[in-house]
Chains A and B, each alone.
Chain A
């Protein structure tokens, strides 16, 4: 399958198969702001067996977006393209702290029961597989739970 090269923008490779749409949501649905999107889904990958690829023409993702990307695509590589050349290559690195992004799954956690005054705060507790620990109750969220909350 051939997807043409983009002159400028971002190519996100090594997205877990089936997560391309979640990646777009995490980037703020750039197609709704007029950017052209190309997605390749469920292609063969030597590293991941199956993967998705997302291309966003004309938009360069911010460092914060790259960090967030790590939550649903921990092994993603992000290529910034200018004039058909890759000028920067970044690996998605999960943020050490997440505020108001994830929800604790412990029903008796204060961040659940006092949601309005207790913001959810999670600390990175594992990179591979990805895990985050709730600051208030210590409950850990596994990669699948993180992905499903954001996807």
Chain B
């Protein structure tokens, strides 16, 4: 459903800016639009009340890659708003017979009012959005974008720290292939962080095009490989697992496997008020004994996915209000 593009001028932050819009990259959204989303999501935090806002809408979920939180939180959000949900399961659909993304999208467009899609190919959601007359929400495309995860992550920071601006962030892990990390960094460009430390083993540093984009957007960041050097300054530590499934060469994965880990001892060097976020699932980088630390905020982050995605669905598939 591309082509409408974001509104300009005085209408930039109007409530209708979201209506019918594709959600492909967080870079497509202004700060004002993100803030209006967060404000709307605030209203959905807490005990749920039955709603019928989307009672006449059908939401299609099409996940060509495994998912727990994104798929289930979108489904829960849709159901809580009274929508009906249909689900394309690639393992029992014509995908197995070799059906193209083109034809699959054309079917989903005819059967639903909004498509939430996850796909292993970069650009898949954008292609689907170009083909579809109903909005497409990108639930992750290869190692490129995961816009609603980034919106959720920023929403979590805002709720737990009271603001997004002026904080110091450390983004630790697979900053090369983890779309959550890339999208979080892109999301930070919409705000004014004090500093962003991008920490990863050298081979897991952000891709050249991402670094170029971050520089072009004026983000204050430093690349490094030692968390202990920066954890004392951080207000937010964003951690990702190594994306084993995206390594073109399994030998390269073996070389970096287990190369970083957030232990309780390292966490103890952080300042008071530090929060640890992780998009999950975790691997060895986040031991379970960290869960009891005061800083551990990743379960709260995962739970906030429902109110955030309720607000998003209502804005995109509803009347533009939330």
Report the separation of the CA atoms of residues A51 and B143 in the bound assembly, to the nearest whole angstrom: 41
Q: Tell me how far the C-beta of A128 lies from the nearest C-beta in chain B, rounded to whole angstroms.
A: 16
Which of B126, B142, B213 is in CB contact (< 8 Å) with A108?
A: B142
Inter-chain contacts of B208 with A (CB < 8 A): 140
Structural contact, A109 and B122, CB atoms closer than 8 A: yes
For A142, the closest partner residue in chain B by CB is: B208
For B105, the closest partner residue in chain A by CB is: A117
Chain B CB within 8 A of A26 CB: no
For B141, the closest partner residue in chain A by CB is: A110
Structural contact, A137 and B122, CB atoms closer than 8 A: yes
How many residues on A have C-beta within 8 angstroms of the other chain's C-beta atoms?
A: 20
- CB contacts under 8 Å to B, within A129-147, are 133-140
Structural contact, B123 and A117, CB atoms closer than 8 A: no
For B213, the closest partner residue in chain A by CB is: A138
- CB contacts under 8 Å to A, within B119-138, are 119-124, 126-127
Inter-chain contacts of B210 with A (CB < 8 A): 138
Digitize B180-203: 1 where CB-to-A-CB distance is under 8 Å, 0 elsewhere: 000000000000000000000000
Q: Tell me how far the C-beta of B205 lies from the nearest C-beta in chain A, rounded to whole angstroms.
A: 16
Structural contact, B209 and A139, CB atoms closer than 8 A: yes
Inter-chain contacts of A106 with B (CB < 8 A): 122
Chain A CB within 8 A of B294 CB: no
Q: Tell me how far the C-beta of B144 lies from the nearest C-beta in chain A, rounded to whole angstroms.
A: 6
State the A residues within 8 Å of B (CB). 106-114, 116-118, 133-140
State the B residues within 8 Å of A (CB). 100-102, 119-124, 126-127, 141-144, 208-210, 212-213, 246, 248
A112-B121, A140-B212 given; 6 more Cβ-contact pairs under 8 Å: A108-B122, A109-B142, A110-B141, A113-B121, A116-B102, A136-B123
